[in-house]
């Protein structure tokens, strides 16, 4: 029988397409995307240490996504950039941009103050953004989010002074798994920082996947797979396999009542051999569904090292 490491190395060599097709059975297909992203700024505010612009970027014909673009006050050539995806909060993008919500989740602002360009868009039906993905033919809001975020990546890559090889995706909770889903489909994501974003499906709420199956996520989990982890065509180790060997940082609190830390450890153990040393990092703080400031600080320092 082959060793676990041999099995993992063999898994890493598997073609991406079958794994992506497994995700698409639940999320719906990823459409082809053009590189050109029309956008416009309709407001600018100078904050201490950075500039904040309100922008609208075109995701598809007739659909413009509101976002905050944060630019460091003293930019330098070819700086890194981050797509900062918000949690489940009514104010959407405003929270990571530092305009409300929890001060501990102002991560776009934190990165801008470290010299990064940061882009924080609204997820469908949060913040200012109203969009019915099902009326437009999407099978899930998750896939519409992936499309929007992939377009946002292209916008970032085209900005003057941004190094397109050093664009990360970061997020907490809803944003934590959306950052992973984006990186699974989009090789342009150079690294991921995910906080309170996942656990194995069998560990999620005791295996009851109804929380993943509503209209804000993936309705096929209920309609096609009965909210049963055993029937799901993918799990989070597959998402991580699609990202490997690109760097991933995980914040997984011991008391997270949404994403059981036991399932997080199982997922990480299943793929650890696919990442070069230092490219899969995880912290397990003693708290609930939160992203403590010391963990964020270490995440940003790690991100700057790996990029």
Q: Which pLDDT belongs to residue 251?
A: 99
What pLDDT does residue 77 have? 72
CA distance 51 to 112: 9
- Rounded distance between C-alpha atoms, residue 215 and residue 142, angstroms: 9
What is the predicted pLDDT for the residue at 245? 97
Token pair recorded at residue 156 = 């970032």
CB 204 within 8 A of CB 228: no
Round to whole Å and give the CA distance between 47 and 210: 42
The per-residue pLDDT for 32 is 95
SS3 163: strand
Per-residue confidence (pLDDT) for residue 8, from 0 to 100: 39
pTM: 0.94
Beta-bridge partners for 131: none
List the pLDDT tens digit at each of the 307 positions of the chain.
334 344 334 444 457 899 999 999 999 999 999 999 999 999 999 999 999 999 999 999 999 999 999 999 876 678 999 999 999 999 999 999 999 999 999 999 999 999 999 999 999 999 999 999 999 999 999 999 999 999 999 999 999 999 999 999 999 999 999 999 999 999 999 999 999 999 999 999 999 999 999 999 999 999 999 999 999 999 999 999 999 999 999 999 999 999 999 999 999 999 999 999 999 999 999 999 999 999 999 999 999 999 9
Q: What is the pLDDT of residue 194?
A: 99
């Amino acid at each position: 029988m082959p060793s676990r490491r041999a099995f993992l190395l063999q898994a890493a060599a598997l073609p991406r397409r079958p794994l992506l097709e497994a995700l698409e059975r639940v999320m719906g297909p990823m459409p082809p995307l053009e590189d050109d992203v029309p956008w416009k700024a309709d407001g600018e505010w100078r904050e201490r240490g950075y500039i904040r612009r309100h922008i609208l970027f075109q995701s598809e014909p007739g659909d413009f996504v509101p976002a905050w673009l944060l630019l460091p006050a003293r930019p330098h050539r070819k700086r890194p950039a981050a797509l900062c995806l918000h949690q489940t909060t009514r104010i959407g993008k405003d929270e990571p941009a530092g305009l409300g919500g929890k001060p501990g989740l102002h991560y776009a602002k934190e990165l801008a103050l470290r010299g990064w360009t940061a882009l924080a868009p609204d997820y469908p039906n949060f913040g200012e953004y109203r969009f019915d993905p099902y009326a437009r033919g999407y099978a899930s809001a998750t896939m519409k989010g992936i499309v929007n975020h992939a377009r946002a990546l292209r916008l970032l890559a085209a900005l003057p002074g941004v190094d397109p090889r050093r664009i990360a995706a970061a997020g907490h909770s809803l944003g934590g798994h959306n950052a992973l889903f984006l990186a699974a489909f989009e090789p342009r994501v150079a690294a991921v920082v995910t906080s309170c974003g996942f656990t194995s499906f069998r560990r999620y709420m005791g295996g009851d996947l109804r929380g993943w199956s509503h209209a804000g996520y993936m309705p096929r989990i209920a309609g096609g797979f009965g909210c049963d982890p055993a029937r799901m065509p993918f799990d989070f180790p597959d998402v991580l396999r699609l990202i490997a060997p690109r760097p991933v940082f995980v914040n997984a609190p011991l008391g997270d009542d949404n994403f059981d830390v036991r399932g997080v450890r199982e997922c990480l153990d299943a793929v650890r051999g696919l990442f070069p040393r230092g490219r899969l990092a995880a912290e397990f703080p003693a708290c609930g569904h939160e992203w403590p400031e010391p963990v964020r600080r270490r995440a940003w320092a790690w991100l700057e090292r790996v990029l």
